[in-house]
Structure 1
Amino acid sequence: MNPLLIFLLLFVGIPLVELYFLIQVGSQIGAFATIFLTLLTALIGGAMVRLQGFSTLMRVRGAMERGEVPAIEMMEGAVLLVCGVLLLLPGFVTDFVGFIFLVPQLRRWLISSGLQGAGVMRPVQRKPHSPPGHQRTIEGECRREDDREDD
C-alpha cells in the first residue's frame, strides 16, 4: 500500500475518530466536563512522560558508563516522545494509546518484539548441554609481540 495513502488515512481518520468519541462523551457528561477531562489527561500524561523520560535517561547514562550500547533505552525514549505527543493531542483514543505505552513492561515487550520481527534482534539461544548460569572457563597463556626481546 502507498505510504502517502496510509499517512492521509491516519491524518484524516484519527481526528474523525477523536471527534466522534468527544461528541459521545460530551453528550453523556456535558461539554465542560469533557473539556476538563481532556485537559486533566493531558496534564497527568505529560507528568508521567516526564518522570519516565528522566528514568530512561538515567538508564541510558548507566549503560553508557558501563560501556554498553543503550539501544533499547534509546528506543524507549523515542516511544516516550510519541506518547507525549499522543497525550497532548485532545481526545480519548490518543490518550488511551499514550497511556498504554506508558506501562514500562508493555513498552519494552512491544519494542523487543518489533525489533525481533524486523530481524534486528534475535532471541538468545542457550546450548542444550550447558545449564543456565553455568560459566565456561578457558585457561591459557598469552604473550604480547611487542614485549619480546630482540635476539
Structure 2
Amino acid sequence: MFFRLFLIFLIVPVIEIYLIIKVGQVIGGVATVTVLLAMSLLGAWLIRHQGGRVLGQIRDELAQGRLPAAQLLDGALIFIGGVLLTTPGFFTDFLGIFFLIPATRRVIKMWLGLWLQAKIARGGFVVRRHF
C-alpha cells in the first residue's frame, strides 16, 4: 500500500507538470492559467450543486427511516472530486470533474460494487467485530 501511494505522489505531479507545459506551449501561459481557473470554478459550481442535492437526498432517506448508503457514497465521491479539483493541474481536474458528474459517478459506484463483490468472493474482505 505504501509503495502504491508513493507511486501516486510521484507520478501525478510529473503528469501535471508535463500537461501544463504542453498545454502552455500550445495555447500560451495566460490562457493555460485561465483554463485552469475556469475548470476550478466549474468544479466548485458542480460541488455546490451536486453536494446540496445529495445532502437533501440523505435527509429524505433518514426522515423515512432508511439508511442512505448510496447517497453517502455519492457524498464521499463528491468530496473526493472536490479535493482533486483543489489540486492545480489538468489531470486532477479531469479526475475531479469525473467524480462530480452524476453519470460518471454511477459508473464509479458500479465499479466499486463489482470490486467489493470480487473481494468478498475471494475472502479478501474481512469484517472484525469487537464487543
User: TM over 0.5, yes or no?
Assistant: yes
| 8 A Cα contact 1:46 1:84, kept in partner | yes
Distance 1:15 1:109 in 2: 26
Matched, 1:12 2:10: yes
Which SS does the other structure have where 1:19 is aligned?
helix
Structure 2 unmatched runs, 5+: 119-131
| Correspondence 1:64-75 to 2 at 5 A | 64-75=62-73
| Correspondence 1:46-85 to 2 at 5 A | 46-85=44-83
The CA RMSD over aligned residues, in Å, is 1.4
Distance 1:19 1:56 in 2: 34
Residue equivalent to 2:36:
38
| 8 A Cα contact 1:86 1:97, kept in partner | yes
| 8 A Cα contact 1:46 1:88, kept in partner | no
| 8 A Cα contact 2:43 2:85, kept in partner | yes
Which SS does the other structure have where 1:119 is aligned?
helix
Larger Rg: 1
Residue equivalent to 1:109:
107
1:88-132 deviations in Å (ceiling 9; x for gaps): 211111111111222213212321431243139xxxxxxxxxxxx
Identity fraction in percent: 35
Aligned-partner residue type, residue 79 of structure 1: L
Superposition TM-score, scaled by structure 2 size: 0.84
Deviates more, 1:42-51 or 1:109-118: 109-118
Aligned length in residues: 118
Deviation above 6 Å: which 4+ runs of structure 1? Answer: none
| 8 A Cα contact 2:36 2:88, kept in partner | yes
Residue equivalent to 2:121:
none
Structure number with the higher helix fraction is 2
| Correspondence 1:67-146 to 2 at 5 A | 67-119=65-117
Aligned-partner residue type, residue 107 of structure 1: R
Distance 2:113 2:46 in 1: 25
